[in-house]
Chains A and B, each alone.
Chain A
Amino acid sequence: EADIYQTPRYLVIGTGKKITLECSQTMGHDKMYWYQQDPGMELHLIHYSYGVNSTEKGDLSSESTVSRIRTEHFPLTLESARPSHTSQYLCASSERWIAGPSSTDTQYFGPGTRLTVL
């Protein structure tokens, strides 16, 4: 079982509210990710980080922001939630890697946060 935690597991919130989804890992992994997944659909990368003070946007355009002040913590914030943000949000991490032909990116996932914006 991977040591990566997400809170809350479920969140129902009204339009316009600011929310922060928490993600923490105790494995000392450098890379962390946020994905968005709708039922029956593939995972879409919205943010990732190579390490402390590193954040990058993923493929899926997102109005959310992230921060990486500590290795173990990678919170995602929505300043003003909208119904279109309703989805499952998954946090993942992977070990330190060195870019090259032998590198791999096996990811360990948290249980997810199911967000519903009314």
Chain B
Amino acid sequence: SQKIEQNSEALNIQEGKTATLTCNYTNYSPAYLQWYRQDPGRGPVFLLLIRENEKEKRKERLKVTFDTTLKQSLFHITASQPADSATYLCALDRRSNYQLIWGAGTKLIIKP
């Protein structure tokens, strides 16, 4: 069955460094992949979308890559700040019924 894997262990990064989060998927070929941010007790907030024919997408300090051969997406935050601390979720489209399937997210902690 389709499966999304995100690192379940929290990622601790020093302020100012680049944080890199990983999203791996199996048994699937999505048309696009999305990244969301979720703060405790809140709903996810959309950040970036990357399509299968795109290698890289940028938005301010955020960068997403998509490698359909490796079945992997990397999410980078450059010049990280404590305010970037949150859980980051990746979601893939399910072509069959146009719904999204979600990873469990990786908790990112930026230390001052």
Contact = CB atoms under 8 A, between A and B. Distances in A.
A42 B100 contact: no
Interface string B59-98: 0000000000000000000000000000001000100001
B104 A99 contact: no
Given A99-B98, A105-B93, A41 B46 contact: no
Contact of B104 (A40, A45, A114): A40
Nearest to B39: A111
A40 B103 CA distance: 10
A104 interface: yes
Given A40-B104, A42-B105, A105 B41 contact: no
A111 B49 contact: no
A32 to B, nearest CB: 12
Interface in B32-67: 32, 34, 41-46, 49
B43 A112 contact: yes
A14 B22 CA distance: 41
Contacts of A2: 45
Contacts, number: 53
A109 B100 CA distance: 13
Given A42-B102, A103-B98, A109 B43 contact: yes
A42 B100 CA distance: 11
A106 B92 CA distance: 11
B44 to A, nearest CB: 5
A115 interface: no
Interface of A: 2, 40-43, 45, 48, 58, 90-92, 97, 99, 101, 103-112, 114
Interface of B: 4, 8, 31-32, 34, 41-46, 49, 89, 93, 98-100, 102-105
Given A42-B105, A58-B99, A109-B42, 11 more contacts: A2-B45, A40-B8, A40-B104, A41-B104, A90-B43, A104-B49, A105-B99, A106-B49, A107-B44, A112-B41, A112-B42
